[in-house]
């Protein structure tokens, strides 16, 4: 599997503080069946990482994993604050894209932000492709599922955090995450892991809990691989077997 959203790099955001924590997370990813992780540290006014620093940190972590004989493939990326993304030059945004491909991982704001849809649309107008991280946890979008649908029609991919499907962030978030799945608005699930305790790696248990085992390959392998490669993204309408049965109509975006 491929985990497109993981705070794996040590000491640069709210992920592991030390290298040992990153190595422990890498081992946990492998144990959970993940072979490729995109390291996505925050690029945020309070955590002002940049593409050059992230590339250096990824290279250092790869070397450390090789020495520790941990065969996890780590690719560079970033979780970009929506407000800051408006200010960054296009060259820097492209350098922050997931795995060096064409897709930006943009953080759906975790506070009420009335210009969420407009901010994403501005990035699209500048020629960027956008994966929206954890829209199910965004207060602005929880009040406006139509905004998520409009963004999806514009080509934005919606990425759920696996823990949202198990109630890790509360029952309201879990219900909204399932609502988005049933509305056919979810294309990706990622761990958004930060450590091996409170926010650990893991994808399949959450999908099984939500009745989405039959869509696991699509959500954690096929679509993430297309995102990293810049290939056409498989499109499917997914519903939980636990509720109404799984419907998957594959096409191309």
**Tens of pLDDT along 30-54?**
999 999 999 999 999 999 999 999 9
What per-residue string of b and e applies to 167-205 under the rule 16 or more CB within 10 Å gives b?
eebeeebbebbbebbbbbbbbbbbbbbbbbeebbbbbbe
How would residue 239 be classed by pLDDT, with cut points 50, 70 and 90?
Answer: low
The count of domains in the chain is 1
The reported pLDDT for the residue numbered 238 is 77
The reported pLDDT for the residue numbered 245 is 41
Contacts 24+ apart (CB under 8 A), 246-253: 246/211, 246/212, 246/214, 246/215, 248/214, 248/215, 248/218, 253/155
**Tens of pLDDT along 96-122?**
999 999 999 999 999 887 789 999 999
**Segments forming the whole domain that contains residue 88:** 2-252
φ/ψ of residue 73, rounded to 5: -85, 130
Q: What is the CATH number of the domain that holds 32?
A: 3.20.20.140
CA atoms of 237 and 187, how far apart (whole Å): 9
Q: Give the residue-averaged pLDDT of 189-215.
A: 97
- E-assigned strand segments in the chain: 2-6, 36-39, 42-44, 47-48, 73-76, 79-81, 103-107, 129-133, 157-161, 188-190, 234-235, 251-252
User: Taking 60 as the threshold, does the pLDDT of residue 242 lie above it?
Assistant: no
- Per the prediction, the chain carries an average pLDDT of 93
How would residue 207 be classed by pLDDT, with cut points 50, 70 and 90?
Answer: very high
Sign of CA dihedral 148, 149, 155, 159: positive
How would residue 252 be classed by pLDDT, with cut points 50, 70 and 90?
Answer: very low
Q: Give the residue-averaged pLDDT of 196-218.
A: 96
């Amino acid at each position: 599997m491929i985990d497109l959203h993981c705070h794996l790099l040590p000491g640069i955001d709210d992920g592991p503080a030390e290298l040992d924590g990153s190595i422990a997370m890498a081992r946990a990813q492998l144990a959970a069946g993940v072979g490729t992780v995109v390291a996505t540290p925050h690029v945020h006014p309070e955590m002002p990482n940049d593409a050059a620093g992230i590339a250096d940190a990824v290279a250092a972590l790869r070397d450390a994993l090789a020495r520790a004989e941990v065969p996890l493939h780590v690719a560079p990326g970033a979780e970009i604050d929506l407000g800051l993304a408006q200010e960054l030059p296009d060259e820097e945004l492209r350098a922050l894209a997931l795995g060096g491909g064409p897709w930006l991982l943009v953080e759906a704001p975790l506070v009420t932000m009335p210009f969420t849809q407009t901010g994403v649309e501005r990035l699209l107008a500048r020629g960027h492709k956008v994966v929206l991280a954890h829209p199910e946890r965004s207060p602005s979008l929880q009040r406006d599922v139509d905004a998520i649908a409009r963004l999806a029609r514009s080509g934005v991919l919606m990425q759920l955090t696996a823990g949202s499907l198990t109630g890790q962030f509360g029952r309201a978030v879990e219900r909204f995450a399932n609502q988005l799945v049933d509305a056919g608005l979810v294309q990706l699930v990622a761990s958004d892991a930060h450590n091996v305790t409170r926010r650990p790696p893991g994808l399949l248990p959450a999908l099984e809990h939500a009745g989405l085992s039959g869509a696991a390959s699509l959500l954690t392998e096929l679509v993430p691989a297309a995102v990293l490669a810049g290939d056409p993204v498989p499109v499917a309408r997914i519903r939980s077997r636990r509720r109404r049965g799984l419907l998957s109509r594959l096409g191309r975006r």
